Amino acid sequence: MSGFDAGWLALREPFDAAARDGALAARFIAAVVDRAARRNRAPSVSKLMSWRPQACRLVDLAAGTGSNLRVLAPLLPGDQDWLLVDHDPELIAAQARELGRWATSCGWQCRAAEGGLVIDTGQAQWRVRARRLDLQGAFDQLQLASFDGVTTTAFLDLVSEAWLERLADRIVAAAVPLLATLTVDGRREWQPASDDDRAIAAAFERHQQGDKGFGVSLGAGAVASLQALLDARGSMTGTAPADWRVDRDSGAQGQDMLLRMVDESAAVAREVDPAAAVTFDEWAARRRSQVSEGALSMLVGHRDLLALPGRPAA
């Protein structure tokens, strides 16, 4: 699977953070804390003086440069142990740089430790380890039951129905909470509208359903598919919109995002339908002019999904 570059992930991160559904995240955090508390039951009174609760354990699938950690770790209480899984060695290398830069900007200490990093906030310590893993061929190597929570972001639309069945089976068998954020749902709304928007959107959807290394991708249907699979297995699920909204009020980064989305949309459309390349080039030229004039805005539809065990883990 071809990965996302670190520059693109940095550009989209503030829009991702603004779009995430806070209510689902809060329910996920509560479930993680509850699972960790049950795993960390206090010992007998005679051993209580030397006992210290273990950290919450989380695994982030297709972690990129660690955006899920940067959003969720400050919301979780106490010590934490994160495993960031990705197949792209360049993104894994970027994780340490981005996490160190972020921790420093927050006034926290960040130091190298065996197997990764430790971020010390003064109130808690967060251990962060990276692992390179092919989530298609080696997904079963992850022992999901050893974690208190599983997260992933902007990933489910890249995988197939068969892979989601594997994920659902393993999440339910482990009885572990899952928070999957920012999966595209197919909505792309440009303002002002253009007659060519529909052709651009159709080409993008066809491209999105190609094989990204996991079989034929589900694209916009991924959240509905995974929710149905989890519901059928007894999980308690919920979804919520998590839409990007990019306009003139988004500042310079919003302008960069709009230009990136215009260029990407046109490039994908040309790849899918080369015969209409001139039409797509003209569309892109008009849209770029609108960006420079502060006249273009767009909405990109995403959904967040939460899955909780249907019964408490033993």
Compute, in degrees rounded to 10, the torsion defined by CA atoms 74, 76, 77, 78: -80
pLDDT digits (tens, 9 = 90+) for 232-291: 999 999 999 999 999 888 888 999 999 999 999 999 999 888 999 999 999 999 999 999
Note the helical H segments in 195-292: 197-208, 222-232, 251-272, 277-292
Residue 66 has pLDDT above 90, yes or no: yes
Tokens 């489910």 correspond to 156
DSSP H/E element including 153: strand 149-153
The answer to pTM > 0.75 is yes
- Dist. CA 191–CA 293, nearest whole Å: 13
Which 3 state secondary structure label does DSSP give 100? helix
Nearest to 139 by CA among 90, 179, 173, 94: 173
CATH number of 6-41+51-185+215-245+303-308: 3.40.50.150
DSSP H/E element including 16: helix 6-19
pLDDT digits (tens, 9 = 90+) for 78-128: 999 999 999 999 999 999 999 999 999 999 999 998 889 999 999 999 999
**Pairing relationship of beta strands 297-308 and 244-246 according to DSSP bridges:** antiparallel
